[in-house]
Amino acid sequence: MILPNYKPILFDGAYTKGEWTLERYLAKGGYEAAKRALAMPRDPATNSVPALINEVRDAGLRGRGGAGFSTGRKWGFVDYRSPKPRYLAVNFDESEPGTCKDRVVGMYNPHMLIEGCLIAMHAVGIERGYIYIRGEFVVEFDHLCRACAEAYQAGFLGANVLGSGHAFHLQPHRGSGAYICGEETGLLSSLEGSRGYPKVKPPFPAVEGAWGCPTVVNNVGTIASLPYLVRIGAGAYAAIGAAPALGDGPAITGSPGSQVYCLSGHVRKPGLYEHPMNITLRELIYDGNFGGGMLDDIPIKAVIPGGSSMPVLRCDGRPYLAADGKESTDNLDLEMSFDAVRNAGSMLGSAAVIVMNERVCMVNALYNLARFYRHESCGQCTPCREGTGWLEKILGKIVRGKGGKADYERLHNVATQMSGTTICLLSDSVAMPVGSFVTKFREEFKYYCEHGKSMVKDAIRL
């Protein structure tokens, strides 16, 4: 369901020159939510604000980085008994292929991010936060630094912020071109000045994170959602968009709040579209205010709904044999919420929607992704380091026309053995697309292996 005239929250003022300044942000009511939050006293026993943590949990806010975990609960896991300092690490690494939303927040709305950091840091009792931004985002980094400078000058950062008696410090930190630093423990390793190697969990960062201290790691989209959440309150926030969360039960359900969909690939109007999560995939691709339909009217074939690590959806209307042997189809009338996409066998992830038309050869598309993961594997765990290499080599052999019948099975086997056998999820992030591509487009892979050429006529060069 498309809401007419939905007013963007994270993208308020996006693409407008000069909009990043403190002056503009204050004119729009900026830092009012932080004032409200910082007026809430800390519980002396834990040095945290349970009421604020509960508010974020009750609002049903779920992480925008990929996993969709409850933000309030994540904050609840922090080891509040530890005498060590606590840290905040904001994940601005944004490297998942298809994802490019945080960039815009950093460039045009950095103060919303800083205000969100203040709220998170006050709630959890944190004095020092780091914004880990990918190295390529030089201009975005500069905007963040400038905005932090303004915040320090105006007293929104520094000692005794807004008369709360608490100090808050933020430091933007630039990475240098490593996808794995978007994984939370890899990010922390990199922040500490090491190779971006992920670490075994548990202990989770909430217990033992940066410099061995309890650390909250949240995505830019999550943190930047906080000022609005605090301004309107948990009840009103939970009512935005899809079915509300079920509170404190074991399952994390509901997808309230704004989501920024990164629509890329073969649509007429690729772009970043902010909307509550009750919009369907069909609306996102075909509605005139969103994707505007397929590029050059070439029919749709497949969609990756949540960044390249998520299973692909087959959208050409043809059935496929699912892993359980049953005939299945994927539906374009899929609500783009965390729960609905999961129920459809994929994940909303970072809401990066990659649309592919009929002229895309799925074997070549998967080869492209395999190359990406081989390049980005950190090399720590054998199944991932070797497995990503094998996948690239096998797929490379197939696309050069040298594949055999056994290669199809081999892809499947390698992917299966990579899943769940490594320190971090990168290995699974390869296994998911590989598994779904070869299952849902089985005939294309078999054809390529048997005939030494693509089944797709006039395939696009990938």
Partner 1 sequence: MAFTFNDDSRTQFEWLLTRYPEKRAALLPAMRLVEEQQGFVDNEALDYLAAQLGLAPACVYGVFTFYSHYRKPEDGKYVVMVCATLPCALRGAQMVADTFKQELGVGTGETTADKLFTLKKVECLGSCTTAPVCQINDDYYENLTPERIKDIVADLKAGRVPRHLSNGPTLDGGRCAYKPMMEAVQGKR
Q: Measure the CA–CA gap between 361 and 122, rounded to whole angstroms.
A: 50
Side chain identity, residue 362: M
* Minimum distance, C-beta of residue 268 to partner 1, in the bound complex (Å): 12
- Residue 191 burial (10 A CB sphere; 0-12, 13-18, 19+): buried
Q: Are strands 300-304 and 320-321 parallel, antiparallel or unpaired?
A: unpaired
59 neighbors 257 (Cβ within 8 angstroms): yes
- Residue 170's beta-bridge partner residues? 129
Q: How many helices (H) and strands (E) does the chain have?
A: 17, 11
Q: What is the DSSP letter of 19?
A: T
Nearer to partner 1, 195 or 451 (CB): 195
Nearer to partner 1, 114 or 226 (CB): 114
Nearer to partner 1, 21 or 47 (CB): 21
Residues in Cβ contact with 388 at an 8 Å cutoff, skipping those fewer than 6 apart: 370, 373, 374, 377, 418, 427, 430
Give start and end residues of each alpha helix (H) in 170-261.
184-191, 220-232, 234-238
- What's the half-sphere exposure (Cβ side, CA atoms, 13 Å) at 148? 18
Residues in Cβ contact with 83 at an 8 Å cutoff, skipping those fewer than 6 apart: none
Nearer to partner 1, 85 or 203 (CB): 85
Nearer to partner 1, 2 or 462 (CB): 462
* Minimum distance, C-beta of residue 233 to partner 1, in the bound complex (Å): 32
Residues in Cβ contact with 249 at an 8 Å cutoff, skipping those fewer than 6 apart: none
Nearer to partner 1, 6 or 152 (CB): 152
Nearer to partner 1, 195 or 453 (CB): 195
- Residue 303's beta-bridge partner residues? 313, 355
**Start-to-end CA span in the chain (Å):** 34
Q: Measure the CA–CA gap between 222 and 328, rounded to whole angstroms.
A: 34
Nearer to partner 1, 252 or 354 (CB): 354
Which secondary structure element, helix H or strand E, spans residue 135, and what is its range? none
Nearer to partner 1, 70 or 222 (CB): 222
Residues in Cβ contact with 385 at an 8 Å cutoff, skipping those fewer than 6 apart: 377, 379
* Minimum distance, C-beta of residue 48 to partner 1, in the bound complex (Å): 20
* Minimum distance, C-beta of residue 294 to partner 1, in the bound complex (Å): 12
Name the residue with tokens 């806010």.
61
Nearer to partner 1, 29 or 135 (CB): 135
Nearer to partner 1, 322 or 462 (CB): 462
Give start and end residues of each alpha helix (H) in 70-137.
71-76, 102-108, 110-124
* Minimum distance, C-beta of residue 433 to partner 1, in the bound complex (Å): 10
* Minimum distance, C-beta of residue 299 to partner 1, in the bound complex (Å): 15
Q: Kindly report the number of other CB atoms within 10 A of residue 406's CB atom.
A: 11
* Minimum distance, C-beta of residue 329 to partner 1, in the bound complex (Å): 23
Which secondary structure element, helix H or strand E, spans residue 321, and what is its range? strand 320-321
**Token pair recorded at residue 70:** 């409850």
Whether cis (ω within 30° of 0) applies to the bond prior to 172 is: no
* Minimum distance, C-beta of residue 376 to partner 1, in the bound complex (Å): 6
* Minimum distance, C-beta of residue 361 to partner 1, in the bound complex (Å): 11
Q: Measure the CA–CA gap between 111 and 41, rounded to whole angstroms.
A: 23
* Minimum distance, C-beta of residue 163 to partner 1, in the bound complex (Å): 19
* Minimum distance, C-beta of residue 236 to partner 1, in the bound complex (Å): 30
